[in-house]
Amino acid sequence: MELNKNILAISILSATLVGCGGGSSSSSSDDDTTTPVAGTPDFVTCNADETICTLEGTIDQDFTLESGIEWRLGGFTVVGSGGSVLADAAAVTAAKEAGVTLTIEPGVHVKAFSTGALLVTRGSKLMAEGTAAQPITFSSIQDEDFDGLGEWGGVIVQGFAPQYGPGDTGACFGSGTVCNVEGEGGDEVGNFGGNEPADNSGVIKYVRIAEGGKVAGPNNEINGLTLQGVGHGTTVEYVQVHNNLDDGVEWFGGTVNAKYLVLTGNDDDDIDFDEGFKGNIQYAIIRKNPALVAPSGSNDPRGIEANSSDDEYVPQTEGALANITLVGAFMSNDEPAMRLRGALTANVYNTVSYGFEHCVRIDDANTDKDNGTGSTVAGVDGIDELSDVTLNNVIGNCGDLGADEFYEERTEDAGSNNGYDNTVVIDSAGALANSSATVTQMDFAEVDNGSGFAFDNTTYIGAVEPGTSEADAWWAGWIIEGSLDDIETQDPTFDPTPAD
């Protein structure tokens, strides 16, 4: 009853807007007759036959992107209003009660204009649950392919899980319970964080995010999937980020675990976690773009980049990763496959790297930026906080192929069966195809973030079980077509610069 009245009010409002051309600069249609349909809220504008609908503004009520319609992001689209400053616990409760859910049906292709980005604020949910047969896709509207880079923003999810400040400045809630951390990604990204590790921001499953990473300011790009303070009640599985101008997936604090990631063609790092993230990641294929000479943005493209350096260190950061395959390219061959730093704790298991400058780089932190005092590492000035890195069954062939350039800076603190392996061969399924692939079963130590997450205790190295056919791989069928083609022949020494 109440709802009906609202819809009526909205439809009257929408009808009156027709006369003045609507409120959106990106209101669109193919046949030039933009007609908001009765009952449509004001954050959405559709063409007459409702085949194309454009979202922009704040989605302030539960809403579903139905399949069969071409959905467009006309600008910065914000789900809920949890991004505003929440002064106290009562405001947090109110924000949760006011939370809305944006549901995206399987098979929906969301096309974004260049100002488009989707931000899900804390207290609200994104239910984007595709299927292997009908994945959900985000890409730019500029063209039908997925070859662009930085053509629109990206997907940003914010939650009430804790964030810890750079520089060991502690939990965002300080001595209280409320957080208001300004998120990265431009002016329109509001505040996130809280003291609820189990917070649930919804489901992101069988989702492909391509061509994003638009510049939001000098040296400021948007990640493909940005997870800011997202809690472990959220599901992130079977997600591909392709050709993003910044990182593939970046965690800023939070506790959300992830499985089955395909990260291809991204211009910066692929997996990046920081600011007190506590979580687990299993099964990921990372592939750098073989067609690029150098990164296009202000980027230093690595496979895994964990935590920030030195004075920006966050010792609360704790990540466990298993079964990752990392394949480098010419544009990334000055960078390590994984860089673990900033006095973090990291456990990496059953992972293979190929074709980066180094496979593993571990850095400790000079937290006070004072080179004169407090060095705990011989020969390195000023280091005063150490990272704690455990590696087991982490192998690779990095550097000038054939030379042992496995480690950069230092070796791990604990673990076994790690190091240079020049026999590494990746097959077309993304599996390790040589004899190093099979290892004895061991117990992976999960990060205890309260989720009860348990790794599959695999007996192989790499993201895909050796011997799996391309068609049977867990990524088969739902990822962007061609995005893993020829991974088995990728030559990171090949300079794609065209001859003059």
Partner 1 sequence: MSFKRLISTAAITSSFCFAPAHAAEVVFYITEDGSAADAVSVAVNGQRQIVNPQGFVTFELPADSYTAELSQYGAWVGEADFTLENDDSSEDVFVEILGGEAIAETSSSDAAGGVIKGQLISNETGGPVSGARVSAAGTDLGVITDDDGSFSLELPRGNYTLTVAHPSYQRAELNVNSMPGVPVDLNVEVGMSGNGVIEEVVAVGTYVADSATSQERDASAVLDSIGAEQMSQFGDSSAASALKRVAGVAVVGGQFAVVRGLQGRYISSTLNGGLMPSTDPLRRDVPLDLFPANVLGGINIQKSYTPELPGDTTGGIIMMTTKDLPDGPVNKIKGSLGVNMRTTFSDVAYYDGSETDWMGVDDGTRDLPAAYAAISNNGEDAIEVCTFDPEICTSPEDATKAFNSFDHNFAVKNVQAKPEKSIAYQIGTLRDIGPGDLGYYAALQYKDKWTARHDAEVDDLGVVGTYERTKRNIDATGYFVVGYEDENMVLNSKTTLLRNTENTIKVAQLLDVDEEQPQDEVILQWVERQFLAQHFLGEYYFDQKNSLDWRINLGQTKRNEPDRRTYQYLAGNLSNSTVERRFSELVEDSLDIGFDYKYETNLSAETLLKLKFGAMASEKEREVTLVRVGMDANPASGIDFSSGIEEIINDENVDDGFVRYQSRTAATDSYTATDSVTAYYGSFGLDFYSLQLLAGARSETSEQTLTYPNSNSDESSLSSTNLLPMFSLNYQAMEDLQFRFAASQTISRPGLTERSLSVQFDPDTDEAIIGNPDLVISEITNIDVRSEYYFSESESMSLAYFTKDITAPIERTIPDGSGSAARGVTFRNEDSAAVSGIEFDIRKNFIETIYGSAFVAGNLALIDAEVTLSEESARFEGRDSRRLQGQSETLANVQLGFDGEEYGHSLTLLVNYAGDRIYKSARSIEPEFEEARTVVDLVYKWEPSERLELSAKAGNITDSAVKFSRNDEITEQYYEGTTASLSFSYSFE
**Contact set for partner 1, span 133-162 (CB under 8 A):** 141-142, 147, 149-150
E strand or H helix at 252: strand 249-252
Which CB sits closer to partner 1, 29 or 428?
A: 29
d(CA 351, CA 426): 12
Identity of the residue numbered 135: P
Asked whether position 195 contacts partner 1 by CB under 8 A, the answer is no
For the chain, how far is it from start to end, CA to CA, in angstroms? 70
| CA gap 248, 286 in Å, rounded | 9
- Cα(305)–Cα(263) distance, integer angstroms: 13
Q: Which residues pair with 250 in a beta bridge?
A: 226, 272
Near partner 1 in 478-497, by CB under 8 A: 497
52-59 and 44-46 beta bridge pairing: antiparallel
Q: Does 89 bind partner 1 (CB under 8 A)?
A: no
Query: Which residues of 174-219 form beta strands (DSSP E)?
Result: 181-182, 191-192, 202-210, 215-217
- Least separation in angstroms between CB 386 and partner 1: 17
What's the token pair of residue 287? Answer: 């592939």
DSSP helix/strand/coil, 345: strand
Site for partner 1 in 255-274 (CB under 8 A): 274
Shortest distance, CB of residue 496 to partner 1, whole angstroms?
9
Of 61, 103, 115, 134, which lies in the binding site for partner 1, with binding defined by CB under 8 A? 115
Nearer to partner 1, 208 or 341 (CB): 341
Number of residues that bind partner 1 (CB under 8 A): 77
- Please choose, from the candidates 16, 97, 26, 32, the residue with its C-alpha nearest in 3D space to the C-alpha of residue 56: 26
| C-beta closer to partner 1: residue 12 or 294 | 294
174 binds partner 1 (CB under 8 A): yes
Selected from 312, 364, 384, 446, the binder of partner 1 by CB under 8 A is 312
Q: How far is the CB of 245 from partner 1 (least distance, A)?
A: 7
DSSP state of 51: S
- The C-alpha atoms of residue 60 and residue 81 are separated, in whole angstroms, by 7
Closest CB to partner 1 among 66 and 182? 182
Query: Which pair of tokens denotes residue 193?
Result: 């964080």
**Looking only at residues 349 through 378 of this chain, which bind partner 1 when binding is defined by CB under 8 A?**
367-372
Helix and strand numbers (H, E) in the chain are: 2, 29
Name the token pair of 78.
């914000």
Closest approach of Cβ 403 to partner 1, in Å?
18
List the one residue from 9, 12, 85, 89 that touches partner 1 (CB under 8 A). 85
Does residue 306 bind partner 1 (CB under 8 A)? no
Output the smallest distance, CB 104 to partner 1, in A. Answer: 23
What SS3 state is found at 330? helix
Kindly state the tokens that stand for 124.
């609200």
Query: In whole angstroms, what is the distance from residue 402 CA to residue 417 CA?
Result: 19
Candidate list 41, 99, 253, 290; residue touching partner 1; CB under 8 A: 253
CB of 460 to partner 1, least distance (A): 33
Q: Which of 9, 30, 50, 177 binds partner 1 (CB under 8 A)?
A: 30
69 binds partner 1 (CB under 8 A): no
Q: Which helix (H) or strand (E) holds 56?
A: strand 52-59
Choice from 275, 318, 364, 446 touching partner 1 (CB under 8 A): 275
CA angle 193, 267, 223 (to 5 degrees): 20
Q: Which of residues 186 and 355 has its CB atom nearest to partner 1 in the complex?
A: 186
- 64, β-bridge pairs: 103
Does 36 contact partner 1 by CB under 8 A?
A: no
Binding flag, residue 184, partner 1 (CB under 8 A): yes
Q: How far apart are CA 53 and CA 35, in angstroms?
A: 10
Q: Contacting partner 1 (CB under 8 A), which of 8, 12, 89, 293?
A: 293
Site string for partner 1, 210-249 (x = CB under 8 A): -----xxxxxxx------x----------------x----
Q: Is 194 in the site for partner 1 (CB under 8 A)?
A: no
- Residue with smaller CB distance to partner 1, 194 or 466: 194
One-letter amino acid identity for 386? L
Closest distance to partner 1 from the beta carbon of 447 (Å): 20
